[in-house]
Structure 1
């Protein structure tokens, strides 16, 4: 069973931080990790502790200043920057967004234009350039320097148009980053780790993967009744079924990039139409149609499971992006064995459980 502790620090805006407390008495803690998302941390604390001051006489907890880290058995498993301190009866709530959430609603202050740049390299540039004093939280891009993806000039409708980062139109860098990831087809996640065994410095990294992060984890065991709760919600949604897929890409009218894929089923025929102007080649459209068709088989899906902190798969041995094999137990025989991909992780330290947000691997397009 993992031993948890919670650490507070002051982000100084120049890439450094000052530790304030190494043993915060938090309760109702929820630690979130997300694939290509921000994650964060939520918790509650008594007003007496919340009123504590740092060495300069400032409150420990200041929105847009205080960072909180969740450590399990010596490893940082999640973090967030305090954004709100709402009162909830006799306790104070701590709402903390993951470090990448700092780009939400933030504008680009200059003007940059690209025609053939790699979207991933632009994203790394956004991360680096935005972090100038007093905005610097020390988050460094790592991994996947080149995504080998379609260049920006090939994603617009047959024209060699420019892609702008400009103060008059780029008003939310978080949305810009999301768009770049969709164009480029890469994934990212934020991780935190101690710089050394001295535990006196934390390194913050945004890790990229093209085309995806994570790996298939045959070394871990997830079995209903052993380390997975048998109360597993399933979905059987007609929107997740199609026998025919039509993909429409760049261009207009008869010149539009187009591809179809279909299969015989024991159900009624049903079309799924995908419109994506970033697709500029017929071969790419055909691949997309086949991939979408595979994902629209209509099988029962699992979107969430509860995992106990167990030797089968201890906390921290799996990450968002990994694929894991779920094995059924008695009374849960609809699936037998099922590979799923982890899209999000929510740790509940006081319950010694973790909620995994998942999807069947073949449904991930």
Structure 2
């Protein structure tokens, strides 16, 4: 069983941080990790604790200044930057977002243009250049794969070439831009934190085409470390033979893409409307990935796992493939390989929720 503690730091914006408290007394804690997502740490502090106040009697925690890290048995399992600090009498809520969430709703204040380029390289550019601004440096370092695939990022519009721009006049949400680049390039990423002496190192790890590994060394078995029968859904809304994606623009000028597959069922359309999609290539990638997810196969979306020698906390991560062995019942699927899309640790319960998808439903 893992021993947890929660560490609060002050981020200085120059890539360094100072510890405010080595053992924050958090309750109702959830520690989140996500594949190509931000994760974070949430919890509550109650009642009031004098050491967690400044000389003026206010909490030492400040949104967009304080970071919280969750450590299990000496290893950092999650972290995030404080975004909100709701106070309700003696109860103080700690709401954070993982470090890559810092790019959400932030603009690109320069101008870069691309014709054919590697989207992963552009993503790395966004991570590194944005942090060069004074006061914006989290110390988040790109690691892992440096390249994905070369993609024509420009488009032909009315007979002329329209380049792909990162520009101050249009790129106003770098998180959304990064999500589109990952779709474009077909790569994945995760965020991790680790100790280097007494310093916390922050890394965004890229993987092309995938991140994670097939874990034949771990066991996830109903009745052992999976406490309950696993619920499965055969949902008709999770099936489509055709997908239509509609993006930016109006009327006939809308960005549009579609894809289809041959099935043994009736034909059925799924429509995806997303005004943030401004390129035909991105729309086509979205159509293909959505179609794959809507195969209609019996699906499992999450399981509860005990902190157990079969698979201790920290032995698996988002991106890994794991083998689940089910129990008897309608949803008895035998042995099934699934992909871990996200992990939510519940330290007080000694359990973790694994958000999963069947491997064949993921591009």
More displaced stretch, 222-231 vs 330-339:
330-339
SS at match of 2:120: helix
TM-fit CA distance, 1:237: 1.5
In structure 2, how many angstroms separate the alpha carbons of the residues matched to 1:294 and 1:65? 41
Q: 1:295 to 1:40 in 2, by over 3 A?
A: closer
User: Residue deviations 1:219-243, cap 9 Å, x none?
Assistant: 110001111131533222213224x
Give the match for residue 136 of structure 2. 135
Give the match for residue 189 of structure 1. 190
Give the match for residue 168 of structure 1. 169
Q: 1:6 to 1:236 in 2, by over 3 A?
A: same
Give the match for residue 39 of structure 2. 39
Provide the TM-score with structure 2 as the length reference: 0.86
Give the match for residue 103 of structure 2. 103
Contact 2:222–2:229 (Cα < 8 Å) also in 1: no
Provide the TM-score with structure 1 as the length reference: 0.86
User: Residue deviations 1:62-112, cap 9 Å, x none?
Assistant: 111111100011110000111111124531100011101111111111212
SS at match of 1:206: strand
Give the match for residue 230 of structure 1. 228
Give the match for residue 334 of structure 2. 336
Give the match for residue 311 of structure 2. 313
In structure 2, how many angstroms separate the alpha carbons of the residues matched to 1:159 and 1:334? 56
User: Residue deviations 1:332-363, cap 9 Å, x none?
Assistant: 65211111111111000000000011111111
Contact 2:116–2:151 (Cα < 8 Å) also in 1: no
Contact 1:228–1:305 (Cα < 8 Å) also in 2: yes
Equivalent pairs, count: 349
SS at match of 1:19: strand
In structure 1, how many angstroms separate the alpha carbons of the residues matched to 2:89 and 2:83? 19
Task: Could you tell me which runs of 5 or more consecutive residues in structure 2 were left unpaired when the two chains were aligned.
Answer: 247-251, 274-278
In structure 1, how many angstroms separate the alpha carbons of the residues matched to 2:327 and 2:303? 14
CA RMSD, 1 decimal? 3.1
User: Residue deviations 1:131-170, cap 9 Å, x none?
Assistant: 1220111001111111124232379899642111111111
Give the match for residue 83 of structure 1. 83
Give the match for residue 277 of structure 1. 280
Give the match for residue 362 of structure 1. 360
Q: 1:50 to 1:162 in 2, by over 3 A?
A: farther
Give the match for residue 347 of structure 2. 349
TM-fit CA distance, 1:277: 2.3
More displaced stretch, 108-117 vs 5-14:
108-117
In structure 2, how many angstroms separate the alpha carbons of the residues matched to 1:50 and 1:190? 33
Aligned ranges for residues 16-165 of structure 1 at < 5 Å?
A: 16-49=16-49, 52-53=52-53, 59-131=59-131, 132-153=133-154, 160-165=161-166
In structure 1, how many angstroms separate the alpha carbons of the residues matched to 2:119 and 2:56? 43
TM-fit CA distance, 1:52: 2.3
TM-fit CA distance, 1:299: 2.2
Contact 1:157–1:277 (Cα < 8 Å) also in 2: no
User: Residue deviations 1:105-140, cap 9 Å, x none?
Assistant: 111112121112211111111111111220111001
Give the match for residue 301 of structure 1. 299
Q: 1:363 to 1:49 in 2, by over 3 A?
A: same
Q: 1:246 to 1:86 in 2, by over 3 A?
A: closer
